[in-house]
Amino acid sequence: MKNLWNESDLNMTAAGRINAADTPAELVELVYVSRLLGKDDRLVMHGGGNTSVKSVLTDIIGYKVNVIFIKASGVNLASVDAGDFTPVRLDPLHKLQEMYSSGQRHSEEDIKRFSTREFKNFLYLNLFTMTDHMVNRSLSPSIETLLHAFLPHRCILHTHSLALLTLSNQTEGDRMCREALGDSYGMVPYIQPGLGLAKSAFEAYEQNPAIEGMVLHKHGLVTFGDSAKEAYDRMIDGVNRIEERIASGERKVFASVPMPASIATVEQVAPIVRGACSFEKTPAEKDYQSFVLEFRNSPALLDYLKIADLEAFSKKGAMTPDFIIRTKNHPLVAPAPDADDLEGFGKKLRERVERYVEEYRAYFERQQQATCMDVSMIDPMPRVVLVPGLGLFGLGRSAADAKLTADIAEHSALAMLDAESIGCFESISERDAFEIEYWDMEQVKVRKNLNGGEFAGKVVMVTGGAGAIGLATAKAFKQKGAEVVIMDLDPLALEKAAAELGEGTLSIPCDVTDARVVRSAFDTICRTYGGLDIIVSNVGVALQGRIGDVADELLRKSFEINFFSHQTVAQNAVRIMRAQKIGGSLLFNVSKQAVNPGADFGPYGLPKAATLFLVRQYALDHGRDGIRSNGVNADRIRSGLLTPEMIKARSAARGLSEKDYMAGNLLGLEVTAEDVADAFVHLALEAKTTGSITTVDGGNIAAALR
């Protein structure tokens, strides 16, 4: 591992501070070193790890106050800034240290109670209130604050180095770590983060004040120094010494198992995995909580998935406690997917998921009784699925969450195999895993993920996504937590729409009249998110002509766009939804022309009438699959169909102002693209509605369905 400290880069970090004059120099150095650590996923991943520096600040009446700046809980080190470090008063923390080391309150029960019930309030009470640009009051001080405060060193760095975990997560981890690091590092046995760990770390320091750092067994590596650079140099040196120890000596060779001659593709397998790992939120309505999937299949990972005792090995536990709330204590191992027997694969997978759920419930009941923790069980579904011959799936309630899980799972799997190859991998005990998984300080992070909106975990695809109605609809679903896919024929308009929707939007250029291109687009959705739950088939073009004179070519073109494209899109969606076996929602943008035709508008109205019938046919044929099919009839919406030029011409033809023309309905209100989007969202939420057409036109009796 290279030492990347660079004074020029440090100076650029300092120069980049907006309020550089108000930011202590030691905090600027901490920001710089934290980013160095955070950008190397061999050291920390996704909010893991911690850094701190001790400083002196002046309060409002001029008193000097000793504080510790510590990274806030859950903040990503790779992108951390000065405002992400919470300043906590040191003197009260040292008083606490004295109290617990004096013997007045020293029982394990007292220590654990403080770490779980009193810890957060104690830290909040001792936050040092400063100017707004220095403190983000919505952030919580790290659960490792006491460890950093109890040690006397000015700068402290704490990583979850995979090399360290490879060496420490062993039946003989203590001996192996001592061989690598010698007497310059203290050894601390695994203890749940909090007061108990802080006490043990300080005791390790007291035994040898000359140490440069310490190993927190099965947890992480800590280094310290009088400056950020000294602590960083020691971190890199320590990791390199550990890596040298891992590289020395013999390694085991693992037996592998043969794979099917023909392995199914990701797009075939992902919807089956996604459906099998979903669960019913409200069984009476067949309302499922689904997950977004992230796929990984590096060559090293595929080799790992071939080992003969994969299922037994994968159950040995997590690499570090920090990972458990993301990945659970172990993954689910699926059967190898034979491309010639996908039905058999799905059946076996669902059986394994059922067994996983049963085992998780038993684990919860067993450990809740053993620990007497007053907690409720989180959902028992796996968060990582290993598929031999294919790869790994990470599951999350958002794409970002799924990516985080997959990152951790992929790195953990390879590090665990590395650990086993040089010894015998050993994780923390089941009880320790339960206590960290259900610890309130960790569950806070889990609960944040549960507030993602009504469509969290759902994947929504919108055709014509760059148009007015399509874009408004995509925005409406995204605002409620969905992962959104937009498709459109115009790549430039699509790019602009995706930018407007923001990061995380998948945009796919697509000619919906080309069945091959549509199939490819749906395969991309499955590879990216694992499947889908809702489609909004929104494409349309308003072709005109007197029906007795219109050319066959124009009429056929209109049917291709305004009818057959909807059938092609819906057919592909149903194919995926049936593989998932958790239902789904088909939504169609029909038109008032389907029931209230206008003169010379036959080329548009005829295929739209067929599309209205299509809505009901899907409701009839696929209700048994839990798939709902509904449509929206909208009228006079400013869009690519109803352009400013068309509005001007039609209003003039009727002797009306453009405003009166657009509000020419019973309510006297103009209907917008956002109103149509709201109707689509409403229909997507109506679990017991199918075959319905919702009219969004401000009121037009002639267009009302009878």
CB 461 within 8 A of CB 588: no
DSSP strand E in 644-700: where? 693-696
The burial class, CB within 10 Å (0-12 / 13-18 / 19+), for 550 is middle
pLDDT at 105: 54
Mean pLDDT, to the nearest integer, of 290-299?
97
- C-alpha to C-alpha distance for 607 and 609, rounded to whole angstroms: 5
Q: Is the pLDDT of residue 102 over 60?
A: no
Q: What are phi and psi of 285, to 5 degrees?
A: -110, 5
H helices of 397-514, in order, are: 399-422, 430-437, 440-449, 468-479, 491-501
Q: Which residues of 382-393 are buried (b: 16+ CB within 10 A; e: fewer)?
A: bbbbbbbbbbbb
Q: Quick check: 658 pLDDT over 90?
A: no
Contact call for residues 222 and 204 (beta carbons, < 8 A)? no
351: left (phi over 0), alpha (psi -120 to 50) or beta: alpha
Amino acid at 518: V
Query: For residue 531, what pLDDT band results from cuts at 50, 70 and 90?
Result: very high
Q: Is the pLDDT of residue 692 over 60?
A: yes
Q: Binning pLDDT at 50, 70 and 90, where does residue 117 land?
A: low
| Mean pLDDT, residues 231-242 taken together | 98
pLDDT band at residue 133 under the 50/70/90 scheme: very low
Instruction: Give mean pLDDT, residues 164-189.
Output: 96
Position 601 scores a pLDDT of 83
504 conformational bin, left if phi > 0, alpha if psi -120 to 50, beta if neither:
left
Residue 131 confidence class, pLDDT cut points 50, 70, 90: very low
Contact 438, 467 (CB under 8 A): no
Long-range contacts for 59-65 (Cβ within 8 Å, ≥24 apart)? 59/128, 65/89, 65/91, 65/128
Q: Residue holding tokens 């160095």?
A: 36
Alpha helices by DSSP H, 61-107? 90-101
C-alpha to C-alpha distance for 142 and 74, rounded to whole angstroms: 8
Separation CA 354–CA 277 (nearest Å): 9
Q: pTM of the full predicted structure?
A: 0.91
Calculate ∠ Cα 150-156-158, nearest 5°. 105
The mean pLDDT value of the chain amounts to 91
Nearest CA among 317, 323, 296 for reference residue 46: 323
Q: How confident is the model at residue 137 (pLDDT cuts 50, 70, 90)?
A: low
Average pLDDT over residues 261-273: 97
For the segment 499-510, the average pLDDT, to the nearest whole number, is: 96
Q: What is the pLDDT of residues 201-225, one digit of tens each?
A: 999 999 999 999 999 999 999 999 9
Question: Could you tell me the domains of the chain?
Answer: 7-247 (3.40.225.10), 266-449 (3.40.225), 459-635+671-697 (3.40.50.720)
Q: How confident is the model at residue 697 (pLDDT cuts 50, 70, 90)?
A: confident
To which H or E segment does residue 187 belong? strand 185-188
The Cα 312–Cα 254 span in angstroms is 13
Residues in contact with 257: Cβ distance below 8 Å, sequence separation at least 6, in sequence order: 306, 307, 308, 388
Task: Determine the 3-state secondary structure of 340 from DSSP.
Answer: coil
Residue 104 DSSP label: S
Tens-place pLDDT, residues 42-73: 999 887 899 999 999 988 888 899 999 999 98
- Residue 489 clears pLDDT 70, i.e. is over it: yes
Is the model's pLDDT at 21 over the cut of 60?
Answer: no
Percentage of the chain beyond pLDDT 70 is 94
**Whether the Cβ atoms of residue 469 and residue 539 lie closer than 8 Å to each other:** no
| 597 pLDDT more than 70 | yes
Amino acid sitting at position 152: P
For residue 337, which phi and psi values (nearest 5 degrees)?
-85, 110
Contact 292, 399 (CB under 8 A): yes
Q: Which helix (H) or strand (E) holds 65?
A: strand 64-71
Which among 319, 308, 290, 133 has a CA at the least distance from the CA of 220? 319
Q: What pLDDT does residue 116 have?
A: 62
**Maximum Cα–Cα distance across the chain:** 99
- Report pLDDT for 214: 98
Q: How confident is the model at residue 455 (pLDDT cuts 50, 70, 90)?
A: very high
Which among 33, 48, 36, 4 is positioned nearest to 411, based on CA atoms? 48
Dihedral sign (CA 294, 300, 302, 307): negative
Q: What are the tens digits of pLDDT across the range 349-404?
A: 999 999 999 999 999 999 999 999 999 999 999 999 999 999 999 999 999 999 99
Query: How many other β-carbons are positioned within 10 Å of the β-carbon of residue 154?
Result: 18
Lowest-confidence segment of 111-120, 268-277, 364-373, 695-704 by average pLDDT: 111-120
Average pLDDT over residues 500-516: 96
Q: What is the pLDDT of residue 132?
A: 41
d(CA 654, CA 667): 19
Mean pLDDT value of segment 397-425: 94
Instruction: Supply φ then ψ for residue 175, to 5 degrees.
Output: -60, -45
Q: Which of 576, 561, 705, 558 is nearest to 630 (CA)?
A: 705
Question: DSSP per residue over 685-703, as a string?
Answer: H-TT--S-EEEESS--GGG
133-142, 380-389, 624-633: least confident range = 133-142
| Dihedral-angle region of residue 696 (phi above 0 means left; psi in -120 to 50 means alpha; beta otherwise) | beta
Q: Specify the range with the lowest mean pLDDT, choosing from 64-78, 327-341, 503-517, 552-566.
A: 64-78
